[in-house]
Structure 1
Amino acid sequence: MTAEGEGHATMTVQLYARDIGAGTPLVLLHAFPLSSAMWLAQREGLAGRFRVITPDLRGFGGSVLGDDPPSVDAMADDVARMLNQLGLPRAVVGGLSMGGYVAMALCRRHPDLLLGLVLAGTKAAADTETARATRIRQAERLEGDGDVAALIEEVLPNLVGPTTFRQRALVYGRVRGLVQSAPAAAAAWAQRAMAGRDDSFGALRELRVPALVMVGDEDVIATEGDARAMAEAMPNAELMVIPRAGHLCAVEQPDLFNQAVAEFATALARAPQ
């Protein structure tokens, strides 16, 4: 899919997405400030069993930013529009970090699109005042600098756990490269969008599909406590703690992540609809 604009007052953002494999559709939404490139191991490991769709959220990778005000809801509407354009009435939707915020916004705004929900390295609570102020400060610096130095200095150090930093130099190097390639304008927009996002616990309590919650045991951004709170809020959810992984558990421990998602999605496909 390509990105193009239409309309008058605002631009309709059409997401660029990698779409590979066949079977139950599995939509994976990437973390901040990365792109769908982070899902390489998931495309390689899961496309033999599922239709794996990995969009670039607006402004990142191959997707344009558009001119809408910063909003996680706008990002969720982009994903809903993409599913409609692909002719998919329902999909298993997974999101990591920012992608999780977008997935939860989908639960609020387009619940009928979900066949199942995967939330990894994310949290349902809105930002605290301190966290919100940090995001706005970083957004202002990104806009002022015109580069992503702020992300390299402040965001990158917490994206992977100490095990990855010490023992998986190639993984850390790849993550650093993805952060460095983020467009500053998109990163600033996304920070403002995340700063303004709503609490999602109400939507999770009303969720009518099964859910899988995953968290790295070394994640300092979204903790095991955050993950447990989400799992407990949903009527039908399981929690998996991934060992020796930080915030980007899907990148740091792809085999464990893929196995859990494959088992979850396979069970969903077998369940009566």
Structure 2
Amino acid sequence: MARMTELPLVLLHAFPLDSRMWNAVREPLASRVRVITPDQRGLGRSPLPESDREPSLEDAARDVVALLDRLELDRVVLGGCSMGGYLAMAVLRLAPERVGGLVLIDTKAAPDTPEAAQSRLDVAARAEREGTGSWLAEANLPNLLAEATRTRRPELVETVREIIESQPAAGVSWTALALRNRPDSLDLLRRTAVPALVIVGEEDAITPVAAASAMAEVMAGSTLVVLPGAGHLTPLEDPAGVVEAILSWYPATHEK
């Protein structure tokens, strides 16, 4: 049996999904590493705390640090897909001493454009007004999945649709507002010295290969993996490719 690595792997999910997006990769990864896949605040099974504060990824990052405290984990390899990557970078900014490695999947370091920020405001307002219903999935599916996935794998499309439609409207609204205010993180990544893996789907329309390359280029010694035929949700579209990339990269220095 393979050795278990010393540092656990925490994987943070995309928006507007929850930790179920890791179902296909969790078990094969767990043969080598301890895998932790929390739901972020307001999504999945995680409650949305009552607060008068403006939504911010910094608060979501505090949630992650609090989880590490509860699990008595001093340092972890921190990974995330899309929004999960933004959140991983927020944790790195807040508590760099807790991050022993980075796995950035279908994400980017750049902040929202003005157009994207306005779109998030619109999503938040509509979720508060109408709930999530079917519109949120319909609006996101074309960009979340590669065209070949959408046309040839209807069961996967339905899985993603069901996850999106099950999200609480309040959590969707809070998260959309938090995402629009995130800072540029390229300099943050440039300063980090931890091992880093960047994974991106070749057909990712939201955070394309160029955005992944930009992150990999500023992190010394990082590894970039491009998965052919996959879109923005590589852990769902090509779970075997994601597992292979992570386990092939997982730093040897993390092993007991």
1:204 aligned residue: 189
Letter in structure 2 aligned against 1:33: P
Instruction: Specify the alignment match of 1:17 in structure 2.
Output: none
The amino acid that maps onto 1:189 is: W
Cα deviation 1:46-95 (Å, max 9, x = unaligned): 11111000000001111111124311111111101101110111111100
Match runs of 1:1-273 below 5 Å:
23=5, 24-68=7-51, 69-270=54-255
Q: In the TM superposition, what is the alpha-carbon distance from 1:236 to its structure 2 partner?
A: 2.6
The residue type paired with residue 83 of structure 2 is: M
**Cα distance in 1, alignment partners of residues 192 and 143 from structure 2:** 30
CA apart distance, 1:237: 1.0
TM-superposition CA deviations, 1:201-233 (whole Å, max 9, x none): 121011110100011011100010110111112
CA contact (8 A) 1:141 1:150 kept: no
Task: Report the alpha carbon displacement of residue 166 of structure 1 after superposing the two structures with TM.
Answer: 1.9
Instruction: Give the distance between the partners of 1:97 and 1:268, measured in 2 at CA.
Output: 27
Question: Whole-Å Cα distance in 2 between the matches of residues 80 and 154 of structure 1?
Answer: 32
Q: Deviations over 1:77-126 (max 9, x none)?
A: 11011011101111111000000000011111111111110001111000
Code of the residue aligned with 2:81 in structure 1: it is: L
Q: How many residues align?
A: 251
Instruction: Give 1:8's aligned residue.
Output: none
Instruction: Report the AA paired with residue 119 of structure 2.
Output: T
For 1:236 and 1:183, the matched residues in 2 are separated by: 40
Q: Call closer, same or farther: CA 1:31–1:268 in 2, change over 3 Å.
A: farther
How far the C-alpha of 1:270 sits from its partner, in A, is: 4.3
- Over 3 Å counting, the alpha-carbon distance change for 1:22 and 1:53 in structure 2 is farther
User: Taking structure 1 as reference, are residues 210 and 176 closer, same or farther at Cα in structure 2, changes over 3 Å only?
Assistant: same
TM-fit CA distance, 1:35: 0.6
Alpha-carbon shift at residue 25 of structure 1 (Å):
0.4
What SS is found at the alignment partner of 2:161?
Answer: helix
Are the counterparts in 1 of residues 230 and 237 from structure 2 also a CA contact under 8 Å? yes
Q: Residue 22 of structure 1: CA displacement?
A: 5.8
Deviation at 1:257, TM superposition (A): 0.2
**Paired residue secondary structure (1:27):** strand
Aligned to 1:18: none
Would you identify which runs of 4 or more consecutive aligned residues in structure 1 move more than 4 Å?
none
Secondary structure at the aligned position of 2:250 is classed as helix
> Where does the alignment leave 5 or more consecutive residues of structure 2 unmatched?
none
Letter in 2 for 1:242: L
Q: Which residue of 2 aligns with 1:6?
A: none
Query: CA 1:22–1:62 in 2, change beyond 3 Å: closer, same or farther?
Result: farther
TM-score scaled to structure 2, two decimals? 0.94
Q: Which has the higher contact order (CA 8 A, sep 6+)?
A: 2
